[in-house]
Amino acid sequence: MSGIVWHILAFGVIGIFLAVTVYRTVAIARLPVHLRWELAPIPHEKGKGKYGGSYLEEYEWWTKTRQRSRIAPLVYMVVEIFLLRGIWKRNRPLWPLTFAFHAGIYLVTAMLLFSLVSSILIITEAPPYVINVFQEIASVLAVAGYLMGGLGAIALLFKRALDSNLRPFNTTTKYFNLVLLGAVFISGAYAWFNLGDFAAEMSLFIRGLITLDTGLTIAFSLSLHIIISLLFLLYLPWTDMIHFVAKYFTYHEVRWNDAPQDEKMKRELRGLLAQPVSWSAAHVGADGKKNWVDLTKKKTKDEEA
């Protein structure tokens, strides 16, 4: 493909990815008040998070200033994101497979960042030895990420197909996601072993995009990998893999949101309770006109008796 086609393809896909991701993030943030779990331990409880305590255990807590930790939630999320604490605790046999899979994603992402820095250094004519350092690191990250991610994707495909405990949760989309990501990893590994210097070629490609070089050309193996990667990037924000954004809200707005009700939340709740209910379940007695308040005030036959 010519350089201009690469520019249209790459910048178009990146633009769509960012636009859809921002749109869906805003949509999630604007969802109605969640049913809060308030499950202990909550990391931001300073001095109490370790044993599952809460500010509510303080005598006349409403008269005291809450002590909150900003570091503890960050540490918790880092461990959860990069070491998959939840899977380690609840489904340990699955952990090595999904850890390899996610580690592959993180390593490849890091490789792209180092390649980007390397490209900028090339443009700014930095000393060659500095550029080489970044490219060497990018090369190691790339091969480790592609191999770990590829093995993880293949292993998870077999695990989903053969494990009777996971089979009820399998869908065509789940399999397709793993196949597409596996194709990204495998095509990346193919390009790494096929090219003489994968990191240098990747850096030159990114440099060509940044400088709008219309004469940009790359080897077939790298072209194949980039096209598959761009297809995945285009597909990603439309799927449930958007959980890389949604997880923030799951923890901070649902699981750890233990703030007392203020006037703003009370107004939101009153608005939600005023919505008409049209559930089809006969015992609810909803007709599309009564709201939640009407239904909760209605006495059941047992209560009337």
Paired tokens of 77: 């999320």
Residue 302: predicted pLDDT: 53
Alpha helices per DSSP H over 43-94: 71-83, 85-90
CA distance 53 to 47: 8
Q: What is the residue-wise DSSP string for 232-270?
A: HHHHGGGSGGGHHHHHHHIIIIIIS--PPP-HHHHHHHH
Among 105, 58, 61, 57, CA closest to 82: 105
How far is Cα 169 from Cα 154, in angstroms, rounded to an integer? Answer: 18
> What pLDDT shows up at residue 259?
81
User: Within its chain, how far is the Cα of 212 from the centroid?
Assistant: 30
The ranges of the chain with pLDDT < 50 are none
Cα 54 to Cα 241: distance, rounded to the nearest angstrom: 33
How many whole angstroms from its chain centre is CA 284? 37
- Confidence (pTM): 0.85
Q: Which domains does the chain have, with CATH numbers?
A: 3-33+92-239 (1.20.950.20), 263-304 (no CATH)
Enter the tokens of residue 65: 């200033």
CA nearest neighbour of 167 among 179, 176, 154, 158: 158
pLDDT in the model for residue 301 = 53
CA–CA–CA angle 183, 188, 193 (5° rounding): 130
- Which tokens sit at 7? 């520019």
Q: At what angle do helices 95-123 and 71-83 cross, to 10 degrees?
A: 100
Amino acid symbol at 53: G
Which residues, other chains included, contact 125 with Cβ-Cβ below 8 Å and sequence gap of 6+? none
Q: How many helices (H) and strands (E) does the chain have?
A: 12, 0
Amino acid 10 reads: A
Residues 85, 251: Cα–Cα separation, whole Å: 14
Q: What is the pLDDT of residue 31?
A: 86
Cβ of 55: how many Cβ atoms within 10 Å? Answer: 19
pLDDT at 154: 96
Paired with 291 in beta bridges are 276
